[in-house]
Amino acid sequence: MPADEIQFVYSAKEMPKFATEPHLLCGFPGSGYVGKLAIDHIIQELHATHIADVYSSSFPPQVVIRTDGTVDLMKNSIFSWQGGETSLLLLTGDSQPTNPDSEYALAEHILNFASQFGAKHVFTLAAYITGVFVDKPRVFGTATDASLVGSFAQHNVLLMDSGTITGMNGLIIGIAKLRGISGTCLLGETSGYVVDAKASKAVLETLLSMIKVKVDMSNLEKRAKDTEMLIQTIEQQMAGRGMPAPESQQQQPQKPRNTGYIS
Amino acid sequence: MPADEIQFVYSAKEMPKFATEPHLLCGFPGSGYVGKLAIDHIIQELHATHIADVYSSSFPPQVVIRTDGTVDLMKNSIFSWQGGETSLLLLTGDSQPTNPDSEYALAEHILNFASQFGAKHVFTLAAYITGVFVDKPRVFGTATDASLVGSFAQHNVLLMDSGTITGMNGLIIGIAKLRGISGTCLLGETSGYVVDAKASKAVLETLLSMIKVKVDMSNLEKRAKDTEMLIQTIEQQMAGRGMPAPESQQQQPQKPRNTGYIS
Amino acid sequence: MPADEIQFVYSAKEMPKFATEPHLLCGFPGSGYVGKLAIDHIIQELHATHIADVYSSSFPPQVVIRTDGTVDLMKNSIFSWQGGETSLLLLTGDSQPTNPDSEYALAEHILNFASQFGAKHVFTLAAYITGVFVDKPRVFGTATDASLVGSFAQHNVLLMDSGTITGMNGLIIGIAKLRGISGTCLLGETSGYVVDAKASKAVLETLLSMIKVKVDMSNLEKRAKDTEMLIQTIEQQMAGRGMPAPESQQQQPQKPRNTGYIS
Amino acid sequence: MPADEIQFVYSAKEMPKFATEPHLLCGFPGSGYVGKLAIDHIIQELHATHIADVYSSSFPPQVVIRTDGTVDLMKNSIFSWQGGETSLLLLTGDSQPTNPDSEYALAEHILNFASQFGAKHVFTLAAYITGVFVDKPRVFGTATDASLVGSFAQHNVLLMDSGTITGMNGLIIGIAKLRGISGTCLLGETSGYVVDAKASKAVLETLLSMIKVKVDMSNLEKRAKDTEMLIQTIEQQMAGRGMPAPESQQQQPQKPRNTGYIS
């Protein structure tokens, strides 16, 4: 792998053949691990097939030590799945690139890869950070086309109408739009303080209803309950120390809070 | 768009044909949005024609969410207009590049583009930051040639004779000079604290008198009045809190203040 | 040497010919100089032969002044040695690259170089930082293959099962794994506060037992004793000033401390 | 000028023809402007001939405003001179590159340029920062070859025997050494607090005695006296405010102070 380059290492000689144009679903690591947890969950529950690992000299220069004591370079990984009328490409990873130029480059490479299979729609899953703990995380969204935006209401997705989405979750759909591929970014409301399986479950349910795929949610629900207990513990500790708890959530169902920060 | 590259996406197959050599007028986003507000105003009032969008992996890695809920990659945009004896290329944008190398590269690309149309003169509009609120913002200037500098007095432009101009507003005219294209940078006096439509109006009036184009200023005047009210509010708040107001402006009509900072 | 490039300057026209596939042993400068001290010691004691210097525009832009008043660019250097059944390539250096992309690139170049000689195994020596002074530094390890990990116990190497290894010591074995070359990283326990010849001696003894090479350790032992005296002095000074000494080491022989930091 | 590139713009079609192999003398801007002031002085006094300007996208992205109100991109400039047995290439500039890779690249380009004329020796002039004001600044030195170092004593140059020299002044002689060109760095003792024409005069006198060229020093002496008065003023102000003056210089004629920092 030369410097500044991105390398795909395929796990099989044969590329998957899809009966229908696949959706590309991206779960990059980011705030609260909202997107990554969701995509890792689908990969596991659907027993998706590993296609390729993606390495880049823009990932942090380090190896990850696995529980068996062996090491691997940081990477992104792409899986495939099909069932009934639906085909999926699923992307998960250890890291996003460490510099802007490489974020653009990785987004291009991933879209090139997905285009080989005729992918016409890409979903990215992100965090909508509010700084407060909430009981029922809302799901926000933005998309490349007015028609996609128009369908948000029927999936209970709150429409964003200002701001920016930074990093791979934004770039992938922004570059997709330039290439005539449609894209949707779904953002799960999260405090930003903890790994948030609850927010992850919320965006995943929305995504699954949009792409009409059913996945057993029990493992993610269990993790979501763990998140809930963690949040309660944090709130009790804060109360115990006389510290103000993060402002409790007021109902503002139709509009993102002005303090919202997206990544 | 490969990494480190700059891509022009044209909105029509046919390039505009100009009857006269066009001026290139640049309104990059920067301090007080002085330049961008001015160029956006001309584009709107003259109903200029969109020619191309310019994308770069050196722009911040993010998408901008529009009011209708759809997203776009960050970009610069170029428009054209002609009327009577005057032809114009107009550049406005969401961002300047995030690294110096790419600022040089973008300046080269924009000048290459303008050279195709025979552009022989480029204007950049910038902010002259003083840290104080003023009633009538002055307009400062610098240029690539002594003859241009010599004509400043008749347009009430105060000549700068030291310092540097950083970023695209400086680079574009500096690189233009190396290519035998003449360039002028006009800088509107501004506090640096607010989006300043008043400074923007001042530089725009100077520019229009130089290129002999007439534009209805009423919309910009309305925004300039908003700026004025904003400034009064800030000054009253400061007075109310017993804080010293930013030093009120003394008349120094022929010479920039030593504290001036340009961007 | 063009910018962004890595240049090998060979000291002889003839490359060494090895009777057996050589091990590549890397001693990059890093925390406590644990790895560099160890490899410099073997090079000196085995009178290894200088093969090449490696220059890179990613090394800090400076020259090092030698004791005779002459200067040299920063560099890495590669030596060779063979004896009995064992062949060695030894790498030591003034610096690691200053940016991540170049760390990937240098790791590739070094592995390319070693591959010419059929090298099938690479060892990197690193520091395992605990923030405490210890009497007998432990040696931790991680590797590219489960079989290598399985042999750690017989060499008293404690297995790491989580975390990351950052920089050249991690990248070299991570990239080696992708190329089908096996790799081991041995980490000597060190406080992180001093140049630690004691930790260096510990990893070196482990390495030598693994590759079955014998080296006179007396010079390194002398340096290790100097380290020990330095540590005692620091502890006495801390005690004298009523400062808490870095927490003395408790026996946790099978597991790295959670506070461990690796470089 | 494409991004990441270095461009030479020549002022004449004909390159100078030297009767003898020229010395390359470099005066980059740096601490105290010690080197730049010295080379600018020779260029002026010898009426050296302008050969080329050197532009780089690694220089700060800005234009410099001249006293007549016109602007120029930041650049380095190369001049030539010959007299009697001596030929000179003289380099001065507005800036050093802003990133390490480009410092390596610029050093290569400058040495390529000088090699065309058969240059076999390069001098760089730098600052030796001590943090104290001194009456008679000493001159320190380091070089690529032991024979050069051996001649330092006869020119009252104090030999450095440890440390590093960072930036263009170090890189140019380090890379020269790799190409078989000899190099000398002379460093004038300076506080680091002021533009120091006194230190500049000291290194220049040493340089001129080494290359056997005579230059009228009166203009630089005048600037040096200005420096002296500035230093006295600073010391008096410090005394007046009861602040400790920077430690006055003790005689340590044979050895640089341990606190010395070089740039």
What's the gap in Å between the CA of A151 and the closest CA on chain B? Answer: 12
Provide the token pair at C88.
């060695």
Shortest CA distance from A58: residue in chain C: C101
- Residue C1 confidence (pLDDT): 52
Chain A touched by C146 (CB under 8 Å): yes
pLDDT tens-digit series, residues C31-67: 889 999 999 999 999 999 999 999 999 999 999 999 9
Residue among D70, D94, D103 with most chain B CBs within 10 A, to mutate: D70
Chain A touched by C171 (CB under 8 Å): yes
Task: Tell me the whole-structure pTM to 2 decimals.
Answer: 0.86
Tell me if C70 and D144 make a contact (CB, 8 A cut-off). Answer: yes
Q: Which of D75, D27, D85 is nearest to D220 (CA)?
A: D27
Tell me if D71 and B142 make a contact (CB, 8 A cut-off). Answer: yes
pLDDT tens-digit series, residues C71-101: 999 999 999 999 989 999 999 999 999 998 9
Query: Band of the pLDDT at A248, cuts 50, 70, 90?
Result: very low
Q: Which of A136, A256, A111 is nearest to A206 (CA)?
A: A136
Question: Domains of chain B, with CATH numbers?
Answer: 6-240 (3.40.50.10900)
Tell me if C100 and A57 make a contact (CB, 8 A cut-off). Answer: yes
Tell me if B164 and D65 make a contact (CB, 8 A cut-off). Answer: yes
Calculate mean pLDDT across residues A53-77: 96
Q: Give the DSSP letter of residue B48.
A: P
Provide the token pair at A241.
């120390």
Q: Supply the DSSP string of B201-241, one letter for each residue.
A: HHHHHHHHHHHT-----HHHHHHHHHHHHHHHHHHHHHHHT
Chain D residues in contact with B187 by the CB 8 A cut-off are: none
Could you give the 3-state DSSP secondary structure of residue A54? strand
d(CA C186, CA D175): 35
Query: Band of the pLDDT at B144, cuts 50, 70, 90?
Result: very high
Calculate mean pLDDT across residues B228-233: 86
- Residue A263 confidence (pLDDT): 53
- Residue A250 confidence (pLDDT): 35
Tell me if B164 and D1 make a contact (CB, 8 A cut-off). Answer: no
d(CA B94, CA B72): 11
- Residue A163 confidence (pLDDT): 93
d(CA C134, CA C231): 9
pLDDT tens, N- to C-terminus, chain D (263 residues): 554 589 999 998 889 999 999 999 999 999 889 999 999 999 999 999 999 999 999 999 999 999 999 999 999 999 999 998 999 999 999 999 999 999 999 999 999 999 999 999 999 999 999 999 998 999 999 999 999 999 999 999 999 999 999 999 999 999 999 999 999 999 999 998 889 999 999 999 999 999 999 999 999 999 988 888 888 888 888 777 766 555 443 333 333 333 344 55
d(CA C126, CA C32): 9
> What subunits touch chain C, counting only 3 or more CB pairs under 8 A?
A, D
Chain A touched by B73 (CB under 8 Å): yes
pLDDT tens-digit series, residues A159-168: 999 999 999 9
CA distances D249 to B17, D31, D260, Å, are 72, 19, 13
Radius of gyration of chain D (CA): 18
What's the gap in Å between the CA of A263 and the closest CA on chain C? Answer: 23
Chain D residues in contact with B4 by the CB 8 A cut-off are: 3
Provide the token pair at B202.
């001042």
Could you give the 3-state DSSP secondary structure of residue A240? helix
- The pLDDT of residue A224 is above 90: no
For chain D, positions 93-122, list CB contacts with chain B under 8 A: 98
Query: Band of the pLDDT at B4, cuts 50, 70, 90?
Result: low
pLDDT > 70 in chain A, percent: 90
pLDDT tens, N- to C-terminus, chain C (263 residues): 554 689 999 998 889 999 999 999 999 999 889 999 999 999 999 999 999 999 999 999 999 999 999 999 999 999 999 998 999 999 999 999 999 899 999 999 999 999 999 999 999 999 999 999 998 999 999 999 999 999 999 999 999 999 999 999 999 999 999 999 999 999 999 998 889 999 999 999 999 999 999 999 999 999 988 888 888 888 888 777 766 555 443 333 333 333 344 55
Shortest CA distance from D4: residue in chain C: C3
Which residue has better confidence, A216 or C262?
Answer: A216
Chains C and D touch (3+ CB pairs under 8 A): yes
- Residue A70 confidence (pLDDT): 97
CB-nearest to D63 from B100, B146, B164 is B164
pLDDT tens-digit series, residues D142-168: 999 999 999 999 999 999 999 999 999
